[in-house]
Structure 1
Amino acid sequence: MDLRGKVAIITGVSKGIGLATAEALLARGAVVAGWGRSAPEGLSHERFQFFECDIRNELAVQEAFINTQRELGQEIHVLVNNAGIGHFGPVDGFSSEDWHAMFDTNVHGLFYCTKAALPQMKKQREGHIINVASLAGTAGTANLAGYCATKYAVRGFSDALFKEVRPDGVRVTCLMPGSVETNFNGATPGQQPDPHKMQPEDIAAAIVHALEAPQTVLLSEIQMRPTQPK
């Protein structure tokens, strides 16, 4: 897909991978609708517009989609389902509230956004949905059971969805990064990039790569790892 002039919705745009992806798509000429609970600081661009949206609320998602079409036009070419949260801990010491919060954002919110965008993409017979999962969707890890469960769900959903919407000209990519240096789980990135972790810009570059693949090519799953982890 040639991204120039194409409209892309990115969830969880305020920081980390979402912000880096917005900047990467703007650099390729796309028009970006950034969805999030808070606006990204310092991102000011004539082709960027922020829409406040808590994706855990289906009505809020529907409203954000209507507002996006009203402001940026009917055609929606890209949806990057990036918003996600992680709470870690042993299963028998885990709060049910944290469990539900992860599923509400990582799984249900992703479903609401996909459901909102798909009819327009099918109508156009063109569109690309990127679901940002995790390597936690490929192997279980102690004290990450809830997070792994959500990312396994995203991977299964993505695998089924790509088969479902292929005939409509819509592509679906499940991106599974390993350790990325972001504010994830409350951690603050260091002043110097951690050589043992990938940077948000690295993930954004992979998203651009998947989007710009020839129309005859579908990168259905991409796994990413640091070259030399600790």
Structure 2
Amino acid sequence: MKLEGKIAVVTGVSHGIGLATVNILLGKGMKVAGWGRKAPDLKHENFHFIECDVRYAESVQRAFDQTIYQLGSHVSVLVNNAGLGISGLLEEQNIEDWHTMFDTNVHGLFYCTRSVIPGMKEMEEGHIINISSIAGTTGVESMSGYCGTKYAVRGISQALYKEVRNYGVKVTCIFPGSVDTNFFDNFENVTSRENMMRPEDIASTILHALESHPNYHHVEIEVRPLMPKGKIQK
């Protein structure tokens, strides 16, 4: 897809992968609507922050309406990045935390995606990027709730791409390993952040998928740090 002048929506833009993705898309000449609960420290003529809590359908609808009003036309790119993980053994998991993860990671993705699909179909062009996780391909102890949400993202992505592919719309699901973001701020014993991937690395993967030939479709992409524990000490 040629990106210059087209409209992108990125969720969860205050920092990390979302902010890195906004910056790389702005560099390609896109008009970017950043949906989130907190504005990033970013000033750019083509960046428009729109307050949005993806857990709530009405908040997403307001953000979508504002995006079309401010930027015009249809959304060509949606990056479903907003998400969070809260650790805990299943039988000890706080019910509110469980619902927060599913409301954000799964229901939020649903609300955002359904808002942009009609316009993409009309244009016969569009690309939806869903950020899952390695936790969406394999279980992780004490992360059953988070794994459940990310497996759901994979299942939704697999079904959706088959629904929209004949309209010229792509759906790509990305499964990152550990990325040095605020995701790990509330996890104890995380000491190897210098060996994690950078948010910019994931943003570059997103860009690669977006700029591919119209008939070339990245369905799933798994990315990991090469040496998550650092070099072997000889």
- TM-score category by the smaller chain? over 0.9
How many equivalent pairs are there? 225
Instruction: Summarize deviations over 1:113-153 as a string: whole Å, max 9, x none.
Output: 00111111111111000000001000001101100000000
Shift of 1:209: 0.4
Report the residue type matching 1:38 in the other structure: K
Please state if 1:52 is matched with 2:46: no
Paired residue for 1:26?
A: 26
Q: What does residue range 1-230 of structure 1 map to in structure 2 within 5 Å?
A: 1-41=1-41, 43-187=42-186, 194-230=193-229
Q: Which runs of 5+ in 2 are unaligned?
A: 230-234
Instruction: Provide the C-alpha distance between the structure 2 equivalents of 1:84 and 1:7, rounded to a whole number of angstroms.
Output: 22
CA RMSD of aligned residues (A): 1.2
Shift of 1:74: 1.8
Instruction: Provide the C-alpha distance between the structure 2 equivalents of 1:116 and 1:185, rounded to a whole number of angstroms.
Output: 30
Instruction: Summarize deviations over 1:26-81 as a string: whole Å, max 9, x none.
Output: 0111110000001002x100110000000111011011101100110122100000
Identity of paired residues, percent? 57
Instruction: Summarize deviations over 1:140-170 as a string: whole Å, max 9, x none.
Output: 0110110000000000000000011001110
Runs of 4+ that moved beyond 6 A: none
Shift of 1:229: 1.1
Shift of 1:195: 4.0
Report the residue type matching 1:100 in the other structure: H
TM-score with structure 2 setting the length: 0.94
Instruction: Provide the C-alpha distance between the structure 2 equivalents of 1:28 and 1:98, rounded to a whole number of angstroms.
Output: 37
Shift of 1:186: 2.8
Name which of structure 1's ranges 178-187 and 7-16 shifts more when overlaid on structure 2.
178-187
Contact 1:181 1:198 in 2 (8 A): yes
Instruction: Provide the C-alpha distance between the structure 2 equivalents of 1:83 and 1:57, rounded to a whole number of angstroms.
Output: 13
Instruction: Provide the C-alpha distance between the structure 1 equivalents of 2:23 and 2:152, rounded to a whole number of angstroms.
Output: 28
Shift of 1:185: 4.2
Instruction: Summarize deviations over 1:89-132 as a string: whole Å, max 9, x none.
Output: 11111101100000000000000000111111111111000000
Instruction: Provide the C-alpha distance between the structure 2 equivalents of 1:222 and 1:196, rounded to a whole number of angstroms.
Output: 20
